[in-house]
Structure 1
Amino acid sequence: MRRLRALAAAAAMVLALAGLAGCTTPAASVPEVNVTGEPGGAPTITYLTPLQVTETHTQQIWPGTGPALVEGQSVLIDYWLEDAADGSLVKESYSSKPVAMLLSEVDLGKDLYQTLRGQKVGARLLQISPGSGAGGATDYPTVTVVDVLPTKASGEAVPPRSDLPAVSLDASGAPKLTPTGTDPPGALVAQPLIRGTGDQVQSDDVVTVQYTGFAWTTGDAFDSTWSHNGLPVSFSLQDVPAWAEGLVDQPVGSQVMLVVPPTYALGVTDSEEMKGQTVVFVVDILDTSHPDAASS
């Protein structure tokens, strides 16, 4: 009898320990958020408000198929940020211009850095973050959709012209120029080197680009986004007449060589040494937005 009681007590203890081992602190439930929309366009986000958020959640809406993001190098994103308390739009970049930053926690902040880390170009990501009462960056919970954009041209290579300087690219996509040794053309030349498949540039657009400017005669670079951490820049084409003329109708994703005679204002550079000279720009068109369409 004593042996049976001892076995029963031991069995009860094992069951109790098993039950304790199986008891864990329940994970915070993931808020239900639905994201729809097509690549290249602003997303549509639906959820019940106010959304209860106690910790940051991230989700890959779809994976990227381009190059992997590299720690400490440039990343270009479009984003849509809503106040999850009432579903109102706080800010977005799709109607203006994408944001270029370095892939680091210092530049992006902890949450966005963790969301982007390990992703590839082309990915669409969802980030749900709490308000400041739960350690968040704002005093209200947020729902953010992030699209990872390319930081260099991609598309079909166009056969080079023998009368124009030769262009070669390093591993990052930065161009180098080999001069022809001949006299420059007297008129503006716009020659695609890579033809993209994205939206076409209009004359009054805000474009986001990588570029390098070279001297026609020597091939020496005098200005380049690639030498500034590879961070793309955005500006209105109306501010740069030569670019407005040369990039119109070129599709996003293209790389275009612009040969600019000295009769044009350079616009994108303040280089005194290049005044009066023909210059060559190699431009990667990464994004374009149409202000008139956004305001209508």
Structure 2
Amino acid sequence: MTAATGSTLEIDRLNKRYGDIVALNNMTFDVRAGELFGFVGSNGAGKTTTMRIAMGVLATDSGEVRWQGKPVDFDTRRSIGYMPSERGLYPKMKVLEQLVYLGELRGMPASAAKKAANEWTERLGLEGRRKDEVQKLSLGNQQRVQLAAALVHDPEVLILDEPFSGLDPMAVDVMSSVLREKAAAGAPVIFSSHQLELVERFCDRVGIIRAGEMVACGTVDELRGEANLRIQVDAPAARPGWSDAVPGARVVEHNGSVYVLELDTGADDQQLLAAAMATGPVHEFSPHRPALTELFRNVVSQEVAQ
């Protein structure tokens, strides 16, 4: 199967409670055809719960998961490739044998499943491990087998929970290349990760969740646009406190002669420039583009402050 053009995976107002604990609170977002969507949040924020509900592993208290405009059911889930964060493989089963079996469970003829399993083990650098038991593989190679298991049936959608965990840099490159290819073929691809530099590097959009709620969603540039303006200033002669007289400006980073200041809405960057120049030479005065790690940290710090 191949992904249909215009197909969207919709997560619509999911709610999940465990007694007094709110795991998900109106969790809502979508993943579009051909899109790589990064799903990030602190441990316990609700990422895995959302993915498990999408796959039918958990039941939602309310809300709905839709694919191509229709509620996801058992048959629909056969066309989804799922990679859980925990090991979901049979440890004593051999790699190729296991992938063929999983392909058959997804409705593939044995010959097609074997062909696909051979192709994916070769692509993922596992051709020499086909006859090995999974439990005898390194953690990184087990992760590659997990990805092959999610891909063997040519899914229309990919849902991956921490797929880069435990991978070396070369394996990360292989994994990234595979996910890009699936997205380029039209599949919506959603994955969670704590490796925010990877998310920033190749995701089309990012969703940041906090305490079971989606609190920010968009491209990294859009998320930057929602943050207060930051200015990087390199002023070798400046002394601590040089910017105190500028209303709405505060130093958030300081390393040697380089300062990063955050300006509240309405604060005057020209007044800040004048204050910097009053200290002596200014080698740099430019907008500071926060990395996704910094944006994420700001969201988490808001949670702590509440």
Shorter-chain TM range is: under 0.3
- Structure having the higher helix fraction is 2
- Structure having the higher strand fraction is 1
Instruction: Return the TM-score normalized by structure 1.
Output: 0.26
Q: Which one scores higher on RCO, CA 8 angstroms, separation ≥ 6?
A: 2
